[in-house]
Amino acid sequence: MNSTLILRVAVAIILLTHSVFGIFDNGINDFGNLYLNQIGFAPFGVFLAWSIKLSHIVAAVLLLINKYINFAAIVTILVLIMGIILVHFQEGWFVVGGGRNGMEYNFLLICVLLAIMFPKGFFKGSEALRD
> Quick check: pTM over 0.85?
yes
pLDDT for the residue 131: 41
Please report which confidence band the pLDDT of residue 124 belongs to, taking 50, 70 and 90 as the band edges: low
What are the distances in angstroms from CA 102 to CA 10, 58, 95, 128? 21, 25, 4, 36
Considering the chain, what percentage of its residues have pLDDT values greater than 70?
Answer: 93
pLDDT tens-digit readout, 27-36: 999 999 999 9
Domains of the chain, residue spans = 4-117
Rounded to the nearest integer, the mean pLDDT of the chain is 92
pLDDT tens-digit readout, 51-86: 999 999 999 999 999 999 999 999 999 999 999 999
Q: Does 104 score more than 60 pLDDT? A: yes
Using alpha carbons, select from 24, 69, 78 the residue that is nearest to residue 48: 78
Q: Does 21 score more than 90 pLDDT? A: yes
Rounded to 5 degrees, what angle do the CA atoms 34, 49, 75 make? 145
Please report which confidence band the pLDDT of residue 129 belongs to, taking 50, 70 and 90 as the band edges: very low
